[in-house]
Amino acid sequence: MTALVQHVASGVASGGIYGSLALAIVLIYRATGVINLAQGELATLSAFGCWTLVDHGWAFWPAFGATLALSFGGGVALHALLLQPLRNSPLLRSVLVTAGLALAVNGLDTWIWGGASRSFHGPFSASAVTAGGVALSKQDLGVAGVSLAAALVTGLLLVRTKLGLGLRAVVSPVEARFAGVRVGALAAVGWGLAAALGAVAGMLAAPSLQLDPNMMQRVLLYAFAAAALGGLLSPVGAVVGGIVLGVFLDLAGAYVHRIGGELRPATALAVLAGVLLLRPNGLLGGTAPERA
Amino acid sequence: MRFKASVFGLAAVLLVAAPVALSQFRTEQLTEVGVTFIAILGLDVLVGHAGQISLGHGAFMAVGGYTTAILMADHGVRDLWTIPVAAAVAGAVGLVAGVTAVRLSGFSLALVTFGLAVAFPALVLRFDHFTGGAAGIELAGKPAQTGHGAGVVVLGRHLSNGDWGYGLTWTVAVACFLLVRWLLSSRFGRALRAVRDDERAAATSGISRAVAKVGALGVSAALAGTAGSLLAIDTAQVGPGTFSAELSLYLLAGAVVGFFCSVRGAIVGALLLQFLPDLARLLPHVGSREAGPATFVLGLAVVLVTLLLPPALRAGTAFARRAEARTE
């Protein structure tokens, strides 16, 4: 029983990371209709940025905040430079641009910081808190708390603010434009938010994964699976999908002994393919609006 | 027409003359260019003509490579005969991946194929009794290898292993090139472009969206499988390092850089993927054959080509222009 609770807790922690990255993917998909293939690499770049600030003597949380701000600005700039010029071209071109961006960022990381993995000291210690006879690691609790807080802030922004209303409206860009929504500007904000959420995922994942240019490769697969579980268009679905997937993968790895560590990505791929095949609108159901 | 014929003639002369004129090392590099060329041809069919993205062509290559290696090492099948089997197995995996992705419009194929690229190297390690795990499978000197690693006699001439690999790879590559050109000018190719340009209009003309998309991925994956099989034969071994998870993204980049996924540009992409690390070394402050700068330059090239290449040079538009001219 104790072991089960511990597995669920660590599943929720890694699921929170997947959910944050999935939320970033969903935000960009809603705002511009593009699956951002560079989302994982951008998260890694943010994590490297945070590492560099800490290396220069910053405390973790100020570095965390500065990285979020820089990532937001970077996301807006990338949208202006790469996506805005292609707004009247077929979506294929925009997705290919993000593929090029993924390679370029990966190369830049390797160029600047080298390919070897380095340890990243997060804000949470590996020691345990005991609650009701169950020992949970502070690392897991902290990661789950921060990623869920980030998702909650994003959710409140989407539901409670005028900016969020606009961000929800741009999923139908033509109608939104008729209603006086500035679609281009909001898409830029969507890219900024997504980059910041990706940065949260990257900085939370780095302590347990070791920081290297390919760090987020598997995490991006889990995030795609999480986003698909939520139906690709639903922000709530992405976060829920991330947590469900994280817990499922941890429990499957622990209790189905054939799965183990090596089959984790293959299991995620099976989930992704299964959802696309059987429930293309995600587990939460509903009919997704077709994107024009 | 005369210009086209002379370009192809020149290419044929260069292909035949290259191993005679160049060192063994350069010949082996050009053999790898041939392998990459075939894989990129596959992506050209999928991205350029069907408008779908695959991030898993490295995994399809790996399926082909491991099929060849397992057939040769465990079942004693002569290497040449494993090539069509490898193409068929990889094509079948492609069909399955395609089926999962057609129900969602948009780019769900990119997600599934990305999953394949990430999961495959881990699968190779997990099922090590089958794939040789981290050590891989050694093929040099196996009875199934043509010439058993000691060179091959073709038409009374003794060829070294490198020259034999070069000749085999480029023979298959030219055959694949002609096959792809024929396929794309056939009814199937027209169906792909129709679905890419307007799914509803294509459906109105009685073209099945699912058949076109799944078929394109099947053909594309079979070409990648052929490339992987040839790579296994040429290097006489396969291992987890032969087909990295990053390979898929590099192949996609090579296809885009080759005139935005046109079949004619495949050779440009293949040459660039092979020799970009040498070119990147010419940049200031880049000393050795580092991976970082070359990858950065390749990514930048993909972005710039996609952003800046005028729409007139896009794959398929020559076709559209001809159709317009006919209606005028």
Q: Which pLDDT band, with edges at 50, 70 and 90, does A183 fall under? A: confident
Closest CA to A94 of A43, A24, A32: A32
- Structural domains of chain B in order of their starting residue, each with its CATH number: 24-327 (1.10.3470)
Q: How far apart are CA B129 and CA B140, in angstroms?
A: 19
pLDDT at B313 over 50: no
Class of domain A2-278: mainly alpha
pLDDT at A200 over 60: yes
- The string of pLDDT tens digits covering residues B104-152 is 666 788 889 999 999 998 888 888 888 888 888 888 877 777 777 677 7
Contacts of B48 (CB under 8 A, 6+ apart): B255, B260, B261, B262, B263, B315, B316
Q: Which one is predicted more confidently, A291 or A20?
A: A20
Show which of residues 270-309 on chain B sit within 8 Å of chain A, judged by CB atoms: 290-303, 306-307
Selecting from B291, B297, B303 the residue whose C-beta is nearest the C-beta of A97 gives B303
pLDDT at B324 over 50: no
ipTM of the complex: 0.89
Q: How far apart are CA B104 and CA A279, in angstroms?
A: 10
Cβ atoms of B249 and A220 within 8 Å: the answer is no
Contacts of A163 (CB under 8 A, 6+ apart): A157, A186, A189
Q: Is B206 on the interface with A (CB under 8 A)?
A: no
Q: How far apart are CA B34 and CA B18, in angstroms?
A: 13
Q: To which residue do tokens 């790469």 refer?
A: A82
Q: Is B210 on the interface with A (CB under 8 A)?
A: no
Q: Classify burial at A259, counting beta carbons within 10 Å of its beta carbon; exposed 0-12, middle 13-18, buried 19 or more.
A: middle
Q: What are phi and psi of A118, to 5 degrees?
A: -130, 155
Q: Which residue of B has its CA nearest to A84?
A: B307
Q: Which residues of B touch A86 (CB under 8 A)?
A: 306-307
Contacts of B121 (CB under 8 A, 6+ apart): B62, B240, B243, B244, B245
B265 sits in the region (left: phi over 0; alpha: psi -120 to 50; else beta) called alpha
Q: Which pLDDT band, with edges at 50, 70 and 90, does B82 fall under? A: very high
Show which of residues 139-158 on chain B sit within 8 Å of chain A, judged by CB atoms: none
Show which of residues 230-249 on chain B sit within 8 Å of chain A, judged by CB atoms: 245-246, 249
- The string of pLDDT tens digits covering residues B237-265 is 898 888 887 899 999 999 988 877 788 88
Q: Which of A276, A290, A291 to mutate to test the interface with B (most CBs of B within 10 A)?
A: A276
Give the pTM. 0.90
Size of interface A-B (CB pairs under 8 A): 163
Full DSSP string of B193-231: HHHHH-HHHHHHTT--HHHHHHHHHHHHHHHHHHHHHHH
Q: Which residue of A has its CA nearest to B247?
A: A103
Question: What is the torsional sign of CA A60, A62, A64, A67?
Answer: negative
Cβ atoms of B191 and B202 within 8 Å: the answer is yes
Q: Is B125 on the interface with A (CB under 8 A)?
A: yes
Question: What is the torsional sign of CA B98, A195, A243, A239?
Answer: negative
Q: Determine the pLDDT at residue A53.
A: 94
Token code pair at residue A121: 């000291």
Q: Which residue of A has its CA nearest to B105?
A: A290
Q: Which pLDDT band, with edges at 50, 70 and 90, does B164 fall under? A: confident
Q: Determine the pLDDT at residue A130.
A: 80
The CA-atom distances, in angstroms, between B3 and each of B119, B179, B253 are: 46, 21, 29
